[in-house]
Amino acid sequence: MRPAVMSETTTLPKAPTPKPWIEAIHAYVPGKSKGKDGRPLIKLSANENPLGTSPAALSARGAAPALYPDPDSGALRAAIAERHGLDPARVVMGTGSDELLNLAAQGYAGPGDEVIYVRYGFSVYDIAARRCGATPVVAPDRDYGTDVDALLALVTGRTRVVFIANPNNPTGSYLPGGEIARLHAGLPADVLLVLDQAYAEYLAPEDDDGAMALAAAHPNVLVTRTFSKIFGLAGERIGWGTGAPGIVATLNRIRGPFNVSSTGQAMALAALGDPDFVEASRVHNREERARFVQRIAALSNHGLRPLPSEANFVLVLFEGVLTAETAFEGLADRGYIVRWLPGQGLPQGLRITIGKSDDMDAIAAALREMAETAR
Ligand SMILES: *Cc1c(COP(=O)(O)O)cnc(C)c1O
pLDDT in tens, 132-184: 999 999 999 999 999 999 999 999 999 999 999 999 999 999 999 999 999 99
Average pLDDT of the chain?
A: 95
Calpha distance 305→241 (Å, rounded) = 34
Q: Whose CA is nearest to atom 6 of ligand 1?
A: 96
Calpha distance 372→302 (Å, rounded) = 7
Calpha distance 179→41 (Å, rounded) = 39
Q: Whose CA is nearest to atom 10 of ligand 1?
A: 198
**Confidence bin at 7 (pLDDT 50/70/90):** low
CA of 64 to the centre of ligand 1 (A): 25
Q: pTM value?
A: 0.94
Residue 23: what pLDDT? 92
pLDDT in tens, 250-286: 999 999 999 999 999 999 999 999 999 999 999 999 9
| Whether the Cβ atoms of residue 298 and residue 284 lie closer than 8 Å to each other | no
pLDDT, mean of residues 32-54: 88
Mutation test of ligand 1: which of 98, 123, 209, 261 has the most ligand atoms closer than 8 Å to its C-beta? Answer: 98
Q: Whose CA is nearest to atom 11 of ligand 1?
A: 198
- Ramachandran area for residue 96 (φ above 0: left; ψ -120 to 50: alpha; else beta): left
Residue 10: what pLDDT? 65
- Ramachandran area for residue 133 (φ above 0: left; ψ -120 to 50: alpha; else beta): left
Which residues sit with their C-beta closer than 6 Å to ligand 1?
47, 96-98, 122, 165, 169, 196, 198, 226, 228-229, 234, 239
Atom number of ligand 1 nearest to Cα 229 = 1
The three-state secondary structure class of 262 is helix
**Cβ contacts of residue 178 below 8 Å, gap of 6+?**
none
Residue 5: what pLDDT? 55
**What are the strands of the beta sheet with 339-341, ordered from one edge?**
304-306, 313-318, 346-353, 339-341
**What are the strands of the beta sheet with 114-118, ordered from one edge?**
91-95, 238-243, 221-226, 192-196, 159-165, 114-118, 135-139
pLDDT in tens, 56-95: 999 999 877 889 999 999 999 999 999 999 999 999 999 9
pLDDT, mean of residues 105-115: 98
Q: Whose CA is nearest to atom 3 of ligand 1?
A: 198
pLDDT in tens, 199-243: 999 999 889 999 999 999 999 999 999 999 999 999 999 999 999
Atom number of ligand 1 nearest to Cα 47 = 1
pLDDT in tens, 280-334: 999 999 999 999 999 999 999 999 999 999 999 999 999 999 999 999 999 999 9
Calpha distance 244→227 (Å, rounded) = 22
* CB-count exposure of residue 357 (10 Å: 0-12, 13-18, 19+): middle
Q: What is the largest CA-CA distance in the chain?
A: 83
